[in-house]
């Protein structure tokens, strides 16, 4: 093989390996907060989910996929008011886990009520989630959040 042919072959291999090594990001998170009174607010966590993918409920039994969870950084400015809420999930039998599992498709909004001790604060913490489609699951991901409440 000539040097030019070898270089062309190596270049094609490099392009093919780059194309196959794309990082999948089927879920995008966004955040917001709304004050409902001088002493209460609701913090929102929205997952926008690509077609064919899903994110799991917070209420998954042991032995299944990693459930969505929220860990809030303690603050002197606010306290949590109850658990993080979610809408009713789709529930179906998932063969990969051999159990019925609740999940969300397309988009989901989780919400957390907080009692404010000051007029403005930032609610911070980490959310963990896992996403799957009918062919594969991606490793669980931890995402830091900082949501201003004004």
> How remote is the C-alpha of 116 from its chain's centroid?
26
Task: Say yes or no to pLDDT of 6 above 80.
Answer: no
Residue 3 lies in a domain: no
In CATH, what number is assigned to the domain containing residue 78?
Answer: 2.60.40.1250
> Residue 9 falls within a domain, yes or no?
no
Report if residue 18 sits inside a domain.
no
Residue 21 has a pLDDT of: 55
Helix (H) or strand (E) holding 111: strand 107-116
Structural domain range at position 135: 24-149
Residue 57, domain member (yes or no)? yes
CB 8 within 8 A of CB 31: no
Q: How many domains does the chain have?
A: 1
Sign of CA pseudo-dihedral 98, 49, 139, 136? positive
Spatial distance between the Cα atoms of 82 and 74, rounded to a whole number of angstroms = 14
Place of tokens 């002493």: 39
Q: Is residue 15 part of a domain?
A: no
pTM of the model: 0.84
Mean pLDDT of 106-134: 97
Domain assignment present for 51? yes
**Burial of 112: CB neighbours in 10 Å, binned 0-12, 13-18, 19+:** buried
Q: What is the pLDDT of residues 74-112, one digit of tens each?
A: 999 999 999 999 999 999 998 888 999 999 999 999 999
133 CB contacts (<8 Å, ≥6 apart)? Answer: 26, 52, 53, 54
With respect to residue 8, please indicate whether it lies within any of the assigned structural domains: no
3-state secondary structure of 13: helix
């Amino acid at each position: 093989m000539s040097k030019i042919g070898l270089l062309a072959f190596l270049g094609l291999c490099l392009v093919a390996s780059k194309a196959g090594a794309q990082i999948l990001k089927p879920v995008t998170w966004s955040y917001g907060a709304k004050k409902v009174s001088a002493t209460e607010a609701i913090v929102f966590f929205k997952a926008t989910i690509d077609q064919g993918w899903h994110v799991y409920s917070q209420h998954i039994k042991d032995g299944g996929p990693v459930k969505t969870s929220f860990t809030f950084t303690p603050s002197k400015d606010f306290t949590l008011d109850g658990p993080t809420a979610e809408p009713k999930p789709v529930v179906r039998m998932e063969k990969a886990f051999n159990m019925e599992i609740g999940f969300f498709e397309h988009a989901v909004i989780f919400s957390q009520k907080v009692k404010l001790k000051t007029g403005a604060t930032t609610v911070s913490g980490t959310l963990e989630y896992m996403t799957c489609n009918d062919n594969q699951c991606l490793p669980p991901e931890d995402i830091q959040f900082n949501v201003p409440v004004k």
